[in-house]
Structure 1
């Protein structure tokens, strides 16, 4: 289905919002890109990652300490993804494209491919957010986790609110060994024609994956006094921690109570403006938490990110009040959960509801 957003109400919400946000940056004399604190934060996460990797390869610690370092490395990989790679791949980190390209390539440290991410996330997810059949980011584990009410309900999904969290921890392993290859060679992603790629990207996909397997599997096996199964255990620790953090943060932004999963009508599309659609399908969590803002890279303020993806997340706290007030002025929803725990509970309740036949019609 060819999908279009039709602003049937002729809402001027986004035009008004952009004027207010532009005025904020102009009045404050600020660039929408990274500032000093943002560069410091990026340096801390990247430096911490390299430090832990070096400590592991130093072979100076016992197996349990090495396992703890591996888990910490997985957490730092996720935080690099949120705070450095994500902004850079959206072109938000710097006004210089080469800087964004360089920092966007830190995505390789997660074992993931930045080129594939820009297609599936930047182009498809950000345009067709939460639309079944178009936004593949909400296809968490097809056949296992149900978030689309039009999807057939399977008996085991009655328990999805329990086993979903274990599946989230596998997200990073899927990226490393399966997802990037699958998406790269898939001919169609949503409405995007994915059948043709630059020749360079074929090379980069396979070379970068081979390099990751070398540095995180083969090299540790060659230099560490550990058995092969201990190397694999450490590798799993990295990715189970990384995957759980990535999976939870992304789900709490779009798959919670109150967010919509609109089904487009053939030949009609979505009968509202794109920006209004973003408000209905996206939610913030812990918006007043400095800890969440520091570690989640602004993804706890997902509404602001979806409306202004080319603005560095370091500026989202200031934009929050502008967006919220403008949404209020136009009588539009502004969804937020006050804490990480409340968002997690909301996500749990929604999964439980969508896994039970008696609740399907109410979802």
Structure 2
């Protein structure tokens, strides 16, 4: 069945559903039933095997290029290419962690573990723990680690706690948010190592510790052997910077600047996922660079849905939200970053404005 005919059929189904607006606890179950019957949750083995093979082959090609180019500053172009390939491997690990690739939970978990630890150099346990908490309560204070206090203050409470020069910077943090993303790649590696070497419980620690540390060490050794010291350092800096921008740039516009949920708020699943998520419009290039996360609303509603099916289910979800009167947010690629910058430069005003807050509108407050 073609994508267009599939969309037509599922749109017709949702048009007949029309759930009652005062039965919010059933809203998601109605939508989920429609999606299950549409077949859009079925695995896409050809798609994922093709991407896995091609991306791993691209990784090998980049390293072959590093060997062949030798002592040349053209290596910096290969460093950027390596960052791009590693980001694509990270997105595949993300999909596998959400059990999008295989029916078997074990196959998904071990595929994600191999991709993350052995190829990308990130801890699978650290990532899934953090990311699962985010999915359970997006943009909710005290629950979503992605808005927890750190270098950037994402909430009015975090901003109010800053004093002196830190407060001055926090009120202008939107302007240096994206430059900070160049350090995100390094942060991801450091956080991964701290997690697996920490005192807390780490499932499969016996696998994660040696594989992760070996991958990071071999990478540094390879650069030291293949390149002169100055060029090796420049290669590492460019690769980490581009990697951080690609990953951070794929995740940041999906939620930053959307409503912040109080810690004690009780919201049904559908509104929790839709009202705090933002889709990013764009073609194949945006799909590729963002790893399919530009359809964040659909991904949050159906995290186990294979990435290529998100495009097909999007019209269905948009229409269903329209029928319920639930705000469905979608903006252009560059507009999303303008929103993020504007929000971070005025967290108190943007987080509390009821007229521009889809959460307040969606809940009728």
Q: For this structure pair, what is the TM-score category when the shorter chain's length is used for normalisation?
A: 0.7 to 0.9
| Contact 1:216 1:235 (C-alpha < 8 Å) held by counterparts | no
- What corresponds to 2:243 in structure 1? 242
| Contact 2:185 2:244 (C-alpha < 8 Å) held by counterparts | yes
- What corresponds to 1:24 in structure 2? 38
Structure 1 residues 69, 112: CA separation in 2 closer, same or farther (over 3 Å shift)? same
- What corresponds to 1:175 in structure 2? 188
Structure 1 residues 52, 218: CA separation in 2 closer, same or farther (over 3 Å shift)? same
- What corresponds to 2:94 in structure 1? 86
Alpha-carbon deviations, 1:232-259, whole Å to 9, x = none? 2211111100001111111111003xx2
| Contact 2:139 2:259 (C-alpha < 8 Å) held by counterparts | yes
Deviation at 1:293, TM superposition (A): 1.9
Structure 1 residues 248, 31: CA separation in 2 closer, same or farther (over 3 Å shift)? closer
- What corresponds to 1:345 in structure 2? 338
TM-score (norm 1): 0.83
- What corresponds to 1:131 in structure 2? 140
Deviation at 1:101, TM superposition (A): 3.2
* Correspondent of 1:101 among 109, 121, 138: 109
| Contact 1:13 1:327 (C-alpha < 8 Å) held by counterparts | no
- What corresponds to 1:291 in structure 2? 285
| Contact 1:130 1:260 (C-alpha < 8 Å) held by counterparts | yes
Q: Give, in whole Å, the separation in 2 of the partners of 1:91 and 1:361.
A: 36
Q: Give, in whole Å, the separation in 2 of the partners of 1:303 and 1:358.
A: 25
How many residue pairs match? The answer is: 326
* Correspondent of 1:196 among 195, 198, 201: 201
| Contact 2:137 2:144 (C-alpha < 8 Å) held by counterparts | yes
Which has the bigger relative contact order, CA under 8 A and spacing at least 6? 1
Q: Does residue 214 of the first structure (1) align with residue 207 of the second (2)?
A: no
Q: Give, in whole Å, the separation in 2 of the partners of 1:170 and 1:43.
A: 29
Structure 1 residues 11, 101: CA separation in 2 closer, same or farther (over 3 Å shift)? closer
| Contact 2:250 2:289 (C-alpha < 8 Å) held by counterparts | no
Three-state SS of the structure 2 residue aligned to 1:11 is helix
Deviation at 1:196, TM superposition (A): 3.0
* Correspondent of 2:131 among 111, 121, 137: 121
Q: Does residue 262 of the first structure (1) align with residue 261 of the second (2)?
A: yes
Three-state SS of the structure 2 residue aligned to 1:63 is coil
- What corresponds to 1:3 in structure 2? none
Q: Give the gaps of 5 or more residues in structure 2.
A: 1-21, 355-365
Structure having the larger proportion of residues in helix:
2
